[in-house]
Structure 1
Amino acid sequence: MESNAGNHKEGESHDDGHGGIFGPNTELYFAILSGALLGAGYGLTFVGGLNTWISMGLYFGAYFFGGFFTTKEAVENVRKGTFEIDSLMLVAAIGAGILGEWAEGALLLFLFSLGHALEHYALARARKSIEALANLAPPVALVKRDGKEQEIPVEQLELGDVIIVKPNSKVPADGVLVKGEGSVNQAPITGESVPVDKKAVSDPDRDYAAEKNIPAEHRVFAGTINGYAALEIKVIRKAEDSTIARLIKLVNEAEQQKSPTQLFTDRFEKIFVPSVLILVGLLCLAFLVVDEPFSKSFYRAMSVLVAASPCALAISTPSAVLSGVARAARGGVLVKGGKPLEDLGSLEAVAFDKTGTLTEGKPKLTNILPFEGTDEKQFLQVAMAVEKQSDHPLAKAIVNGIKEKYPDLTAIDASKVKGIVGKGVSAEYDGKTVLIGNKALFEDKGGLDKSLEDQVAKLEAEGNTTILVHFDGKFIGILSLMDVAREEAKGVLAELQALGIKQMIMLTGDNQQVGEAVANEIGITKVMGNLMPEDKVAAVEKLDSQHGKVAMVGDGVNDAPAMAKSTVGIAMGAAGSDVALETADIALMGDKLEGLPFAIGLSRRARSIIKQNLWISLGVVAVLVPLTILGVASIGPAVIAHEGSTLLVVFNALRLLIYKK
């Protein structure tokens, strides 16, 4: 027995079916008219000397306006070959009229139509949170074509078009910055609270449309808000393929996926509805065994029918899922339906990929250790002179790290630079030989003495990659690099622990020592190192068997198999990533871990509200049915409790829309 709100497919607007002479709120106005006519008709019964047909006429008017949309939907359902128990509310009202209880029947239809109008209004509020996403991107764009600037609809933008975005205006398309620099507020897409600095690419003529890993500092998304500077952006996605368009599509699809609780209520209703119909049929025949007229038996049966209709049960979970998905989307988290929304809140274990998820994903200079008798700046000049001529990631990290510490440091160019695969590099600086590399580079040159060996071993035990610098026949110092933990990682893991996550496990392809060094710094409870992608899948399966449910947090690309095996797959930095959006159950649109505690906290609240709604809806039915069978409650109180409980669960679910991070 579903309420009219439940008769629509989730994701469709209820207003569409209830438009009319007063627009989308016609059902509400009809309900108010029904109530006004009912009140007037009932009031006139106390005026002496008036013809009773005047009150009857007003009751007929109340029937018309109160039953208009219920009748319309009943006819539509019959045409489609479906049967909705709410249609029997109409039968109950007609039955009350046949028995001469016109005021009671009019009251039933008035309260029923008013309740449904308010349900539709309340649910529309949740849907507007999702529909608002569609309004984030502006409808037109200022584009440069043939040397001229012209304003065109965003649907007409082509890949490679260069658009101009003025200060404090919305970005109309996904693209890369080709001219200008400034900050962009990405909160509408990624949920990031602080604007992100952007700068132009070095090669504006290049085709970036097919590139998968465009640095965040160059990339912008439709629907984000430009800051203080005018920007020129090259379009890399058409309007229908933009991140915001995909997000809207996936959120709408998510609404249609049923949660475990919804599946339970569906199964429950399949048993409950026929049982109620059999009970109502038997109660209609009660006059055969009880000394009472048929009219009384029929009236009691209609009262039970109203009381037993579990409209609140039907709408309790969908309304909570809708509100939860909408609130998550506003916070930069894409939740693909009711199942991951509920599952996320029941987790006790979360597995994390290390590189790029818990760490920055790139090496960073962590230690500068000149040996005794060597000036630090001279040591760094030698290292920078050689490494700046290499395009190796470690070399770039060394140069960037030195520049961060000494922005004005300069060095003459090294000469005869030669890479030694897997070991390091040799060169000449200031006429003297330089060797920079790992331990293996020096093995055939006598190796390292014990004290230097111990120093290197200590650094590597802490998770560092060590680089030795040998200049003019002697070691002058050590540089160490490490993929450092994200700034926010420690705080986020502490929040997760406070939320009741008992196990936080790191799954990494790096060696165990490196993993444990990062884990000790940020508070990971367990490290599993030296894992190949297939090993991560096996690890997730094992964790799942130990903890019942486990989430896998990764980048959605290398970790896709492990994410697919987990109860809930969570992708980091999904904005602009097709793979992450497709593979994950939940996608954190921004490349920040802070979205994870928010998502889990929201899921916990959603689960709590769903449970409350189930108790309310089933509790009202459990109390009302016996009372109506015993004749203690009639149609009037039954419909008040029925509609009241339905509204209560809807408005309870809407509390998720104001959930705070």
Structure 2
Amino acid sequence: MESNKEKLEAEKGHNDEHGGIFGANTELYFAIISGLLLGTGYGLSFSEGLPSWVSNAFYWGAYFFGGFFTLKEAIENIKKGVFEIDSLMLVAAAGAGILGEWAEGALLLFLFSLGHALEHYAMAKARKSIEALASLAPPVALVKRDGREEELPIEKLELGDTIVIKPNSKVPADGVVVKGEGSVNQAPITGESVPVDKKPVDDLQKDYSKEKSIKPENRVFAGTINGSSALEVKVIRKAQDSTISRLIKMVNEVEQQKSPTQLFTDRFEKIFVPSVLVLVVVLCFAFLVIDEPFSKSFYRAMSVLVAASPCALAISTPSAVLSGVARAARGGVLIKGGKPLEDLGNLEAVAFDKTGTLTEGKPKLTNIIPWEDADEQHFLQIAVAVEKQSDHPLAAAIVKGVQEKYPDLSTGDASKVKGIVGKGVSAEFDGKEVFIGNKALFKDKGLGKDLEDKVTALEKEGNTTMIVQYDGKFIGILSLMDVARPEAKGVLEKLKSIGIKQMIMLTGDNQQVGEAVAKEIGVTEVMGNLMPEDKVAAVEKLDKQYGKVAMVGDGVNDAPAMAKSTVGIAMGAAGSDVALETADIALMGDKLEGLPFAIGLSRKSRAIIKQNLWISLGVVAVLIPLTIAGVASIGPAVMAHEGSTLIVVFNALRLLVYKNK
């Protein structure tokens, strides 16, 4: 069974091709040796007492060390049937040698190998941000088995094992808390800045490994950091299936997924490279047309070959995509490939699921209204006494809401509690009949105009109302509502400020409820009364209307709509298999604040990709005519060429320090 680090080593094995006798940086050391030999040979060439072969010998040594890794890579690519554009540098260096221009050829290979070595070093900086994820989870866990504790490698943990997590230590596996209470810093996985309070699950015997929905306060993730209290956790995922392992795997797969710009550069190179080769062949025979020796025509052709090699173009987009994805992962956002990274920054419309995305996903008590001359204390005692015996979610919300507002409220016990499907509940309190329910429950009893108008007004504001009747008299109204997330309004304002023009709410609730929430938080459009299949149709309509649209949901019942959108974004994906599989972008924490960060990062990535394209194509566009005209030789061409390659790589690495404004 492979550990996270072993998987990463296997996946990044291609980077090891640049290692050797001096370790991972052998290519860089070879480039430096090449430069020293080149400089020595150049210095000796001014000594009149020495034969030319002495300085040439140093140039030949520079050829060996400067061309070693380029030749090695070229041979391996040819074996695979691939002819990389970088291999053309070898042809140009060989051509310079044939002409006796050993210093020029050595300079070309020195600068090219130095550029490549620094490029690989810089790109490794981006990969290290991803590889750092592998070290988040500790290598061993303290396991309770057969009445004793023992340390085991995390790869040997089994489902159902109970592990002990000491204070201020890392969590080794995904699981549920079975003993102890305390806070856990989930920032490494979800990006949440505030530690999350944890407590034991209600049913210690239940198999939570098959449970699709586990409360955040009961669940812990591998790689998170325990607070000051000891916890005991039951393992619900093996090491290779943990959230962090899947996150590492998906982020590494990004390198194989090409963005629209990468696809464009690939198509461009397929046309550009053959065109350059034809031009080089033609230039070799320029001496037949113009009065110059073959050596000069051949040298000019080799210079053009160097100038036209689009190395900077080839690396410009992958380096930006990799850096952007790595930065997103550090911020608790999983971006699955270059396409969603680019597409997200090009959006002007975002559709949101309402329940659980823009709202908290659970009803809260919003109004307590005693009716006419009823005593509020007595009214609430009756309501709580009845509702605490009901298992309906609205009943639990009423009891919780009243107890939060009046913690010292004493209640008696109701009897003969009976649910009335779709309408409410009946019971007895102090020997008198009680009814609690919606308008339909009292349809035949006559609510009275004032009471009915009040209930209607509350419902227009998005509330679900419960009317309380005691001993044949209406004594009050309780209203509940799935309230907006505290951060929703601020997030939507931020989205508007960064250029998102349309924010659409898609909800299965009625239009009035949706509009009430929308008015509170600033949504620009509401589509209510939608079934899951209606949401898919709505996304298709929005896509045609706005060109591109993102869909933000919980990744489960919104999966079909997310799949239809340009970019599917899942909330709270750390605990959802479906979200991680179906979404293009996953906000690992259950926090909306990750959305403006992701969009801002995407826009920065798009800007850097465009800058890199202009730099790489601009240098090629300037160098080709200059080398054809003979203004620039191989030396200046390779310096400009390699300089542009390094500029685009280091420009892309700026994404690693991107900050959400």
Deviations 1:262-314 (A, max 9, x none): 11110000000000000000001111111111111111000000000000111
Aligned to 1:310: 310
Q: Larger deviation: 634-643 or 97-106?
A: 97-106
Q: Distance in 1 between matches of 2:221 and 2:34?
A: 49
Q: Distance in 1 between matches of 2:657 and 2:563?
A: 31
Pairs within 5 Å for 1:425-440: 425-440=425-440
Q: Distance in 1 between matches of 2:253 and 2:574?
A: 18
Q: CA deviation at 1:218?
A: 0.1
Q: Distance in 2 between matches of 1:605 and 1:52?
A: 53
Q: Distance in 2 between matches of 1:14 and 1:496?
A: 40
Q: CA deviation at 1:242?
A: 0.6
Q: Distance in 2 between matches of 1:372 and 1:450?
A: 13
Aligned to 1:7: none
Q: CA deviation at 1:473?
A: 2.5
The letter for the 2-side match of 1:306 is V
Q: Distance in 1 between matches of 2:213 and 2:119?
A: 45
Aligned to 2:397: 397
State the SS of the aligned residue for 2:450: helix
Pairs within 5 Å for 1:508-657: 508-657=507-656
Aligned to 2:3: none
State the SS of the aligned residue for 1:616: helix
Aligned to 1:187: 187
Q: CA deviation at 1:44?
A: 1.9
Pairs within 5 Å for 1:143-542: 143-444=143-444, 446-542=445-541
Note if contact 1:35-1:62 (Cα within 8 Å) is conserved in structure 2: yes
Note if contact 2:38-2:58 (Cα within 8 Å) is conserved in structure 1: yes
Aligned to 2:657: 658
Note if contact 1:123-1:319 (Cα within 8 Å) is conserved in structure 2: yes
TM-score, length of structure 2 as denominator length: 0.97
State the SS of the aligned residue for 2:422: coil
Q: Which runs of 5+ in 2 are unaligned?
A: 1-9
Q: Distance in 2 between matches of 1:13 and 1:170?
A: 28
Q: Larger deviation: 44-53 or 352-361?
A: 44-53
Q: Distance in 1 between matches of 2:154 and 2:447?
A: 64
Aligned to 1:75: 75
Q: CA deviation at 1:430?
A: 2.0
State the superposition RMSD in angstroms: 1.3
Q: CA deviation at 1:112?
A: 0.2
Note if contact 2:333-2:586 (Cα within 8 Å) is conserved in structure 1: yes
Note if contact 1:508-1:530 (Cα within 8 Å) is conserved in structure 2: yes
Q: Distance in 2 between matches of 1:162 and 1:382?
A: 44
Note if contact 2:85-2:310 (Cα within 8 Å) is conserved in structure 1: no
Q: Distance in 2 between matches of 1:208 and 1:462?
A: 39
| Structure 1 segments (4+ residues) deviating >4 Å | none
State the SS of the aligned residue for 1:570: strand
1:125 correspondence with 2:149: no
State the SS of the aligned residue for 2:402: helix
Q: CA deviation at 1:372?
A: 3.6
Deviations 1:225-281 (A, max 9, x none): 101111000000001111111111111112211111111110000000000000000
Note if contact 1:15-1:25 (Cα within 8 Å) is conserved in structure 2: no
TM-score, length of structure 1 as denominator length: 0.97
State the SS of the aligned residue for 1:575: helix
Note if contact 2:88-2:309 (Cα within 8 Å) is conserved in structure 1: no
Task: Evaluate the alpha carbon distance shift between residue 189 and residue 231 of structure 1 in structure 2; reply closer, same or farther with a 3 A threshold.
Answer: same
Q: CA deviation at 1:13?
A: 5.0
Note if contact 2:85-2:311 (Cα within 8 Å) is conserved in structure 1: no
Pairs within 5 Å for 1:45-56: 45-56=45-56
Q: Percent identity?
A: 83
Q: Distance in 2 between matches of 1:372 and 1:50?
A: 115
Note if contact 1:165-1:230 (Cα within 8 Å) is conserved in structure 2: yes
The letter for the 1-side match of 2:254 is A
Note if contact 1:11-1:256 (Cα within 8 Å) is conserved in structure 2: no
Q: Distance in 2 between matches of 1:195 and 1:419?
A: 40
Deviations 1:57-107 (A, max 9, x none): 211111111011011111111222211121121121121122121111111
Aligned to 1:43: 43
Q: Distance in 2 between matches of 1:118 and 1:407?
A: 65
Deviations 1:511-531 (A, max 9, x none): 000000000000000001111
Note if contact 1:439-1:447 (Cα within 8 Å) is conserved in structure 2: no
The letter for the 1-side match of 2:597 is F
Note if contact 2:425-2:436 (Cα within 8 Å) is conserved in structure 1: yes
Q: Distance in 2 between matches of 1:448 and 1:642?
A: 83
Q: CA deviation at 1:40?
A: 1.2
The letter for the 2-side match of 1:136 is L
State the SS of the aligned residue for 1:306: helix
Task: Evaluate the alpha carbon distance shift between residue 352 and residue 603 of structure 1 in structure 2; reply closer, same or farther with a 3 A threshold.
Answer: same
The letter for the 1-side match of 2:595 is L
Note if contact 1:14-1:124 (Cα within 8 Å) is conserved in structure 2: no
Note if contact 2:503-2:525 (Cα within 8 Å) is conserved in structure 1: yes
State the SS of the aligned residue for 1:360: strand
1:111 correspondence with 2:111: yes
Aligned to 1:134: 134
Q: CA deviation at 1:371?
A: 2.3
Deviations 1:103-142 (A, max 9, x none): 1111100000000000000101101111111111111100
Q: Distance in 2 between matches of 1:78 and 1:490?
A: 57
Q: CA deviation at 1:14?
A: 4.7
The letter for the 2-side match of 1:553 is V
Q: Larger deviation: 534-543 or 608-617?
A: 534-543
Note if contact 2:390-2:396 (Cα within 8 Å) is conserved in structure 1: yes
Q: Distance in 1 between matches of 2:217 and 2:407?
A: 21
Deviations 1:306-337 (A, max 9, x none): 00000011111111111111111111111110
The letter for the 1-side match of 2:646 is L
Note if contact 1:255-1:325 (Cα within 8 Å) is conserved in structure 2: no
Note if contact 2:549-2:567 (Cα within 8 Å) is conserved in structure 1: yes
Q: Distance in 1 between matches of 2:135 and 2:643?
A: 34
Deviations 1:321-363 (A, max 9, x none): 1111111111111111011110100001111111111111111
Deviations 1:560-591 (A, max 9, x none): 11111111111111112111111111111111
The letter for the 2-side match of 1:457 is T
Note if contact 1:555-1:571 (Cα within 8 Å) is conserved in structure 2: yes
